[in-house]
Amino acid sequence: MSELIKLTEISKHFTVYERPEGKWELLKGAFIRYPKRVDALKKISFTINEGELVGYIGPNGAGKSTTVKIMGGILTPDEGECVIDGRIPWKERVEHVSNIGVVFGQRSQLWWDVPVKDSFDLLKEIYDIPEKDYKERLEEIASRLSVESFLRTPARQLSLGQRMRCEIIAALLHRPKILFLDEPTIGLDAVSKLELRAFLKEENKRSGVTILMTTHDMDDIEALCSRVMVIGHGMLLYDGSLNTLRQRYETQEGQDIDEIIAEMYRDMDL
């Protein structure tokens, strides 16, 4: 299997501005902001091979979305190297985006006020997908994800589950080699989650698309990922199989994976 994604000692910090505390200080705070450094990623390194389906987990604020944004070419790291299919994402953005699909569960890439089909048509132009390929691909995934009945509905009128399926289609229309999913199952009901997982598993098998997904739902990981990476405070704390993680961190026999993860997260705060 060939290496598709390689991050070497990637670091990224943000500066956030805090208001002072207290009443008088608050008044002054209208003018004064104290800069505070947040180290979102501290020397993160990992490699992902072609065809892998990797879960990326960690508590809120751990650095998962920041990693996805760097890999997607949206953010530039302070230090370190990131090479994805031979390209540096933020330096060769145009070529890079034609090779990847990205879905942010909390944000939409669909044009809000127009039928989703129009958004797909626009993406066809952006990615320069030949008419025949586009028609075939859309028909295929639209039927597998059962979205045909609402292709003419504006995105803002779709339910969360319907919209998420359309987001996945938008990310896969141009047949990218790599798919980054940032919390794709957030807010979905049990049936929608199962359907989405089944689709992703099948798509990974069928087209060989390499998938990295962040999630807070351990069932996503159990169902999909043979490999899981755990990040905490911007550092990679574990990279391996879910079974090994279970064995390594299990404190009582029969503890379920959510409890094990919760315990791991609690330990990170020490």
Ligand X SMILES: Nc1ncnc2c1ncn2[C@@H]1O[C@H](COP(=O)(O)OP(=O)(O)OP(=O)(O)O)[C@@H](O)[C@H]1O
| Contact set with ligand X (CB under 6 A) | 14, 16, 38, 40, 58, 60-66
The residue among 73 and 147 lying less far from Mg ion, judged by its C-beta, is: 73
Residue 37: DSSP 8-state: E
Burial string for 8-46 (b: 16+ CB within 10 Å, else e) reads eebebeeeeeeeeeeeeeeeebeeeeeeeeeebbbebeb
Q: How far is the CB of 65 from ligand X (least distance, A)?
A: 3
Q: How far is the CB of 68 from Mg ion (least distance, A)?
A: 8
Q: Is 215 in the site for Mg ion (CB under 5 A)?
A: no
Per-residue contact flags (x/-) with Mg ion for residues 108 to 147, judged by CB under 5 A:
----------------------------------------
Q: How far is the CB of 21 from ligand X (least distance, A)?
A: 19
What does the alpha-carbon distance between residue 185 and residue 174 come to, in Å, rounded to a whole number? 22
Residues contacting 155, CB < 8 A, separation 6+: 108, 110, 111, 112, 113, 114, 116, 119, 163, 166
The residue among 99 and 214 lying less far from Mg ion, judged by its C-beta, is: 214
The residue among 123 and 228 lying less far from ligand X, judged by its C-beta, is: 228
Phi, psi of 267 (to 5 degrees): -65, -30
The residue among 173 and 221 lying less far from ligand X, judged by its C-beta, is: 221
What does the alpha-carbon distance between residue 36 and residue 44 come to, in Å, rounded to a whole number? 21
SS3 of 225, please? coil
Of 39-98, binders to Mg ion (CB under 5 A) are 64-65
- Binder of residue 38, out of Mg ion, ligand X, none (CB less than 5 to 8 A by kind): ligand X
By beta carbon distance, the residue nearest Mg ion is: 65
